[in-house]
Amino acid sequence: MPPPELTPPVPPDGPDAPVPSAGDGRQSLLRVRGHSVSWLPPLALLVALVAFDLNTSGELRVISWIVLVPGIAAALCGVWTTALFALLSVLAYVAMDTTWPQQYQTGLPDFILVAAGGVLAVAVSWVRLRNERRALHMRDVAETTRRTVLRPLPPYWGGLDHAAVYLAADSVAKVGGDFYDIQPSPYGTRVLIGDVQGKGLGAVDGAAVLLSSFRESGYYESDLTTVARRLDARMLRHGFYCAQVGRDDSDRFATGVLLGFPPRTAPHGPVVLVNFGHQPPLLVGPSGVRELPPGDGLPLGLGDLSEGPAPLQRIWPAAGDTLLLVTDGVTEARDAQGEFFPLVAAVAVALAEDPGVAEPERLVAFVRDATLRHGGNHLADDTTVFAVRPAPADATDGYPFFGPPPG
């Protein structure tokens, strides 16, 4: 079994890192063997101030600095732990101050300072944890949205060996206007990749409506041209809806590539392709790198400007060929001198050095890394790299068809 889809590298606190509950302050990075030790810095400061005050002269009193202890706890610990340190600070202040002769005591003013600082620290801790819960909730919403638009694909899904990587230009939302999917059907496996024009939630909305249409029409329609028409009509309907509700993104369109792989009952048939104004796919295999013709189809959502359906292309990949599909985040990545990333040349050089690069996983990983290097690890646009080819004959996903059989 191949490993699961590639995912972009993320830091330890990235979108897929497990995050404990923020309710008790255990979300702190101060951990030993899985247990929070966020209480250790304020406790150490408390002990240090008490010890220092005990070993100073009456002219140099530092016990009033104990007000810092609940403040540090507010930044690291939960509400109840902060309240405990606030109480300990008040008790420690009273105990230490009364041990000195009257003339050296700091007295009531500093007691009020320490008590007020403790109350304020508890309030700050409560506000911080509330904001952290809200941030965690929003991150969960963004992650759910991302997985809804770009659902994880099982190994050998639809009889295809595949790999994909998606890098969002919005490092907070982690989702944008790029989309891709594989849909098995009784008529063969359909593949879609595309890029909704623009950025923001409007682009995500456009990607979602196109994917929902593809997952239905790609399954039930026997003719790929009909699937293409349904996608274009869906984008037109979405634009009309946006105009009716007063949104300013009613004129959005999407480029894309729609592929139809033959069913396993006819494995030697051609791969049918419809290009909606998108970057042409590359065929990468033992014979080298070949860029497919661009096609004459208009972007999705502009079909009403065309006199007919988007033209079909038929290709016959050789054994071992992989179809590489990318969005313009790859082809329009610029280096410090403003030069675009030379995708075809880069893949050709890598393939000449190591023919194993043609495998979907390695090919996607190479393009991802090369694109990031070329752009200095800066993404100006959402970036998707997707590679597919027929799976080995003995590989199966066991997909059960629920709709009517072909015929």
First and final C-alpha spacing in the chain: 33
Residue 33: predicted pLDDT: 63
Tokens 């059907």 -> residue: 185
Residue 94: predicted pLDDT: 83
Q: Nearest to residue 299, comparing CAs of 232, 250, 346, 345? A: 232
Q: Nearest to residue 252, comparing CAs of 312, 204, 192? A: 204
Determine how many CB atoms are found less than 10 A away from the CB of residue 9. Answer: 11
Q: Nearest to residue 168, comparing CAs of 380, 382, 384, 386? A: 382
pTM, two decimal places:
0.71
Look at residue 215 and give its three-state secondary structure: helix
Residue 253: predicted pLDDT: 86
- Interatomic CA distance for residues 176 and 207, integer angstroms: 8
pLDDT-flagged residues of the chain (< 50): 1-27
Strand-pair category, 271-276 with 312-315: antiparallel
Look at residue 385 and give its three-state secondary structure: strand
> Do the Cβ atoms of 381 and 328 come closer than 8 Å?
yes
CATH number of 154-390: 3.60.40.10
As a three-state string, the secondary structure of 126-164 is HHHHHHHHHHHHHHHHHHHHHHHHCCCCCCCHHHEEEEE
Instruction: Give whole-number Cα distances, 114 to 48, 51, 102, 304, in Å.
Output: 16, 18, 19, 72
Largest Cα–Cα separation, the chain: 102
* Residue 53 parent element (H or E): helix 40-54
C-alpha torsion 184→185→186→190, nearest 10: -90
Residue 407: predicted pLDDT: 54
Return the structure tokens found at 20.
């404990």
| Segment 42-56, tens digit of pLDDT | 888 888 888 887 777
> Do the Cβ atoms of 351 and 358 come closer than 8 Å?
yes
The HSE-up count of residue 294 (CA atoms within 13 Å, CB side) is 7
According to DSSP, the residues that pair with 390 across neighbouring strands are 160
Return the structure tokens found at 153.
């694909």
Residue 18: predicted pLDDT: 38
| Segment 280-312, tens digit of pLDDT | 999 999 889 999 988 778 888 887 777 767 788
Backbone angles phi, psi at 160, to 5 degrees: -115, 135
> Do the Cβ atoms of 62 and 53 come closer than 8 Å?
yes
Look at residue 256 and give its three-state secondary structure: strand
Return the structure tokens found at 243.
């105009």
- Interatomic CA distance for residues 137 and 135, integer angstroms: 5
- Interatomic CA distance for residues 228 and 84, integer angstroms: 64
* Residue 240 parent element (H or E): helix 224-244
* Residue 288 parent element (H or E): strand 288-291
Cβ within 8 Å of residue 78, ≥6 positions away: 23, 24, 25, 26, 125, 129
Return the structure tokens found at 165.
């990587």
Look at residue 39 and give its three-state secondary structure: coil
Q: Write the DSSP string, 171-204.
A: TTT---SEEEEEE--TT-EEEEEEEESS-SHHHH
- Interatomic CA distance for residues 211 and 205, integer angstroms: 10
- Interatomic CA distance for residues 327 and 54, integer angstroms: 68
Domain boundaries, the chain: 31-142, 154-390
